[in-house]
Every structure is written in structure tokens, then in C-alpha cells.
Structure 1
Amino acid sequence: MIDRLWSKFVKPSSDKASTLTVENVPQHVAIIMDGNGRWAKSRGLPRIAGHHTGMKAVKQITMAADRLGVKYLTLYAFSTENWKRPKAEVDFLMKLPQEFLAIELEELIANNVQVRMMGYREALPGHTVEALEEAMLRTANNTGLILNFALNYGSRKEMTDAVKLIAEAVRDGKLSPDQIDESTMSEHLFTSGIPDPDLLIRTSGELRLSNFMLWQLAYSEMWFTDVYWPDFSESHFHEAIAEYQRRARRYGGL
């Protein structure tokens, strides 16, 4: 009965979609959206054209995840290392959240999506922060998919800052070393209160984590594709979910 109801909302856009089961949809999917610049170069376009087209893929995959029943979707939008890129490209990237939310926010609200952000806000331009804060405020009471943008995010800095906070708590007598465990660390990360990703997807053929959620991805399933992010479709997303559903997650056991 549940499968029949589910199939009414998840329209198979590929052969992979028809093989998905409602019982084993990943609760949290994280995506490293890679390949925008190479997508543009392969078409003789400026890199920013790839970033702009990639914004459309964000909308498509967000809606696809929502239809499948994914509860958390974390998108690696801009890393702490991306500031090394040319200023013109960085400036363009910093305008994309504002443009995306101006176009898509009303539909996100209509679909009960809650917008969140993890990363270091202090270095972001005011217009970027304002757009995100407005979206987070207006979607704060939504109870559907949580769309979590990792913006100016770096996992090593995140973990270093977490260790500092824990050390300060020990110094101030609020915490003893014997009380520190894995949950203590998790509680001091940006993802506190969010389950670790079940599935990591990375586009563009690169096979590395690029300083993304290093603690949280410890037991995540990983799926890599050569497809550049602007070309990443709902069909590709279904393919990743189908592969996830074929795997057995043992967490070190048998």
C-alpha cells in the first residue's frame, strides 16, 4: 500500500527510479557539486556560465530529493578554500544564493522546504548573508525537507573550532575529560542535531572529499559520477539512490 502511494508522487523518470524502494531511502544526502567550470569550458563559455547553469540543477535535485522522501539535503556550495579563486568568479558565486532564493524561495516555501546554512558567515558579503537569513527566517517553521547549504565551509576548521570549544569547557570546569566522547564532538559541529549523511554524491569524476564533512562522512556510502554538476539530473540522482539501496551498511560489523 505504501509503495503504491509513494509511486503516485515519485514519477519514474528513468529505469532506475522504478527500482527504488520507499523503505530504504537515505535520510541525509550530501552532494559535492563539482564541475561547473569544466562544463562551461567544454562549451566555450566563461566559468560563471557553468555556475549559473548549476543553480538550475540545485532546484531540480532539491525537488527530486523532496519527492523521494529524503529528509536532509546538504549541498557544498562554497568552501573556505574557494576564496583563492579569481575575485570576479568569487563575486559572482556570492551573488548566486541571492539570485537563487529570489527566484525559488516561494516554491520552496510552498513545498514545505526548510532552508539552513552551515559555514562561517563573518567573511561573506552582506547581501549573501541577508538573502540566506531571510530564507531561513521565512522557512523556519517548515517541516519538510531541510535544504542545508554549506557556504564558506571547511571541515578541518570546523573540527578545530569544535576542539577549541570543548577545551574551553574543560578549562572552565563545565566538562571533564572523561565525559568527552564522539557525541561531544558531534554536538560542537555545524551539523549538531542533524544525522550524519547516509550517502555522499560527488559529480565531475573527482574522487576526493575536498575538506567536506570529514567527521560526519565516516560511515557514509559514497557515489561518484563523471557527470558535471550542471548536467546532473533527476535520473542521475535516482541512479545514485538505487546504488545506495543495493549496498549493505555494516558499520564495521558483519
Structure 2
Amino acid sequence: MPKHLAIIMDGNGRWAKRHLQMRTFGHEAGAQKIQQITEFCAKYGIAYLSLYAFSTENWKRPKTEVHFLMRLLEEYLDSKFSTYLDNNIIFKTIGDLSIFSPNLQQKIHALELTTKEKCTGLTQILALNYGSKDELCRAFLKLTLAQEQTFNIDAIENALDTAGIPPVDMLVRTGGEMRLSNFLLWQSAYAELFFTKTLWPDFSKEELETMLLEFKNRNRRFGGL
């Protein structure tokens, strides 16, 4: 079983278009899918689930869509607070949160702190204003300011947003695209990659379970024989 599963949740906008709806309709459906997949992974015994929610490049989208996504995130945090506690799920974020409004930052940190204190199950990691290149730049700056003499692998990993979290074992991308899009590049160095044409709002527990069964049968050599 993968200890750390990462998912690039792609296809919300195209899903909405197929249903003759605005893109915002797809984002709302995608937010609901997050809960379903997270609860499934928790029951399946996966320890860490990383979800690409908002990238550093997503700020290029129309202002109205970005504003909607920020409001949707805030509403999600409010409405799902008790759901995390009821399902024993730890909430964590990665990325540069400093650009978000103080109110949104407060809600994020409150959920992180509460679930860290009260929950012991799966850790759901939401990537917000996240880009792997940005993360690496921030890590190197952190090491420089700390006057680290050696930039070895351990030092870099401890300076990343994912410090203390195991590397990605399995990475899934929905929506039909076959690229990593600047997501957990360092952490996914030896990840098993899975791509599906299924758009994120249509991605099912059954399809994920099929992928997990295939993961079990893959031979992970990590450069060895």
C-alpha cells in the first residue's frame, strides 16, 4: 500500500462545460469530491493524502474565478470542520499562505491546530498557493538564512513544506493531461505515476481502488535490481 498518495485534481472546468454550466459549478463539485476521496483513503489505510488545490500559477486565471475559489475554500473550511474531527483526519497545508487574507489564514491555521491536537488518523495535505519550484526556492532561502554550510539531501528535505512527511509513493492525475505541473517534484522522485481521462468531479472510489490494486503489483526497484 502507498503510505503517501498525491492527487492532481484536474478537470473541474471541463466537467462544468460538459454539463452546460459555469466553471464555478465544476469547482463546487470538485470540492465535494475531496471529502469522498479523503474518507475513502482514511478507511483504506493510507497515511498521507496530498491534494493539489491551488497552484502558484492559478493566480493567472480571471479575477472573478480566483475570488470564487478563495470564497469556496473559506466555505469549505467552515463547513467541513466537524467532518475532519468525526473522521479522525488531520488537516495540513503546504504552500505560501502569506498571500491569502488574514481571515482565511486564521481559518486554515485553526483547523490545522485543532486536528493536530485531536486527530490521529490520515493526514490530508492541501496544497494552496503551492508550486514545487517556489517551495524549493523558499527552502534554499531558509537554509541560507540559517547559514547552513552543506546543502545535502536531508537538509533540503527538512527545509521543505513537507518536512517530516514521507515521500510520495503514488501520484494520480485526473483530467487526461500527462504532466506533473510543478507539483511535489522533489517528493515524487520515485513515485509511481497514474493518469486517467476521468475529470476530477467524476473520479470515483472504485477507480482509485483499481489503481491502488495495480500499485500493489508494480515492482518498485528504486534504482536497484
Fold-level match, TM-score > 0.5?
A: yes
Q: State yes or no: 1:115 paired with 2:91.
A: yes
Q: Give SS of 2:222's match.
A: coil
For residue 165 of structure 2, what is the amino acid of its counterpart? Answer: I
Root-mean-square deviation over aligned CA pairs: 1.2
Aligned counterpart in structure 1 of residue 16 of structure 2, from 40, 55, 58: 40
Which position in structure 2 is the counterpart of 1:201? 172
Aligned counterpart in structure 1 of residue 197 of structure 2, from 202, 207, 226: 226
Q: State yes or no: 1:236 paired with 2:201.
A: no
Structure 2 distance, partners of 1:167, 1:107, is: 40
Structure 1 distance, partners of 2:149, 2:69, is: 43
Q: State yes or no: 1:51 paired with 2:27.
A: yes
Which position in structure 2 is the counterpart of 1:69? 45
Aligned counterpart in structure 2 of residue 165 of structure 1, from 113, 132, 142: 142
Residues 120-154 of structure 1, C-alpha deviation per residue, up to 9 Å, x if partnerless?
Answer: 11111233222212211221121111011000001
Structure 1 distance, partners of 2:101, 2:193, is: 33
Structure 1 distance, partners of 2:103, 2:51, is: 20
TM-aligned CA deviation for residue 242 of structure 1: 1.2
Residues 89-126 of structure 1, C-alpha deviation per residue, up to 9 Å, x if partnerless?
Answer: 10111122222222222121011111111111111123
Query: Does 123-132 or 226-235 show the bigger shift?
Result: 123-132
For the 8 Å contact 1:204–1:226, the answer to whether it is kept is yes
Query: Does 156-165 or 210-219 show the bigger shift?
Result: 156-165
TM-aligned CA deviation for residue 163 of structure 1: 1.6
For residue 163 of structure 1, what is the amino acid of its counterpart? Answer: F
Q: Sequence identity, in percent?
A: 44
Listed as ranges, the gaps of 5+ residues in structure 1 are 1-24
Q: Give SS of 1:140's match.
A: helix
Aligned residues, how many? 224
Alignment TM-score, normalising by the size of structure 2: 0.96
TM-aligned CA deviation for residue 162 of structure 1: 1.4
Question: Are residues 235 and 158 of structure 1, via their aligned partners in 2, closer, same or farther at CA, if it must alter by over 3 Å?
Answer: same
For the 8 Å contact 1:97–1:131, the answer to whether it is kept is no
Which position in structure 2 is the counterpart of 1:187? 158
TM-aligned CA deviation for residue 161 of structure 1: 1.7
Q: Give SS of 2:206's match.
A: helix
TM-aligned CA deviation for residue 42 of structure 1: 1.2
Structure 1 distance, partners of 2:23, 2:41, is: 27
Listed as ranges, the gaps of 5+ residues in structure 2 are none
Matches within 5 A, 1:7-46: 25-46=1-22
Alignment TM-score, normalising by the size of structure 1: 0.85
